[in-house]
Amino acid sequence: MLKKLLGIAPQIEPDGSYRPSKLALKLGTVDKTDFENISYQKYQGKKSKIFVLFTEQKNMTMKNGKMFSTGNHPVEALLPMLHLKNAGFEFEIATITGKPVVFEMWAFPEKDEHVKSIYKELEPSFQRPMKLQKFIDNSLNDSDAYAAVFVPGGHGAMLGIPNDENVGKVLNWAHEKGLFTITLCHGPGSLLSTTLNNQKFLYEGYKMAVFPDSVDKQTPMIGYLPGHMPMGLSEKLKSLGANIVNTKSDKTVCLDRKLITGASPLASNELGKLAANTLLKALN
């Protein structure tokens, strides 16, 4: 009751899951982003496609058994995509099962016309994404058409994606073919898929920006999460040999070889700029 009065009680949804408290939403989300509408010199070559892998899962079961209402963070997905679109790239959107993309709509920036525009433009693809297996069956032999793989963040990126062998196949394919891999916040959980079947971590020794476990451990105090995470990400990546370059959930972005990463939702605009400029420089 006291938590409700203070506005720090997570808010229950119809399916019994919890979205962040009123205070957490006030502190942790925005109604308008810091997106910079940059006019890039558009890419005109044949490697114009970016494969974007989203989660289709909504609920994360926390250590205390409560479910967190999650999915992909709309800002972390759509700001980088806005920059990449402005730079002349197009998207192929997929989920593991082919079920619709799930977004943390409680984090949607309702007063941001740029974000609303690209969301509306891509909504048919979000509702009917490609199944990951179909991409593997049809497109892995067509690497000349692709510039990058993008795995957006949101806590939902930790559901299913790190444990899926097909995700590991796509990341290994991108690595072998010299494509860029772009991800941020909890999206780097996808990189864990490269360790399945006792394989060596593909990104051992890489510098990367990732959402810090230390912040995830603090956010239940203000009701952002309804409990503690079932698994930490940044420490797990560190234990595999990744060099984490940030200690805060801030605007940090990082480029190491063909891996482009960002620390948090706050890094979405910077990650989009870094990705767009890096791809244009490498491909033009």
- Any idea which residues carry the catalytic annotation? 185
Q: Is 187 in contact with 268 (CB distance < 8 Å)?
A: no
- C-alpha to C-alpha distance for 8 and 98, rounded to whole angstroms: 36
Virtual torsion, Cα 125, 130, 136, 139, nearest 10 deg = -50
Q: What is the 3-state secondary structure (H, E, C) of 99-168?
A: CCCCECHHHCCCCCHHHHHHHHHHHHHHHCCEEHHHHHHHHCCCHHHEEEEEECCCHHHHCCHHHCHHHH
- C-alpha to C-alpha distance for 79 and 239, rounded to whole angstroms: 30
Q: Is 92 in contact with 52 (CB distance < 8 Å)?
A: yes
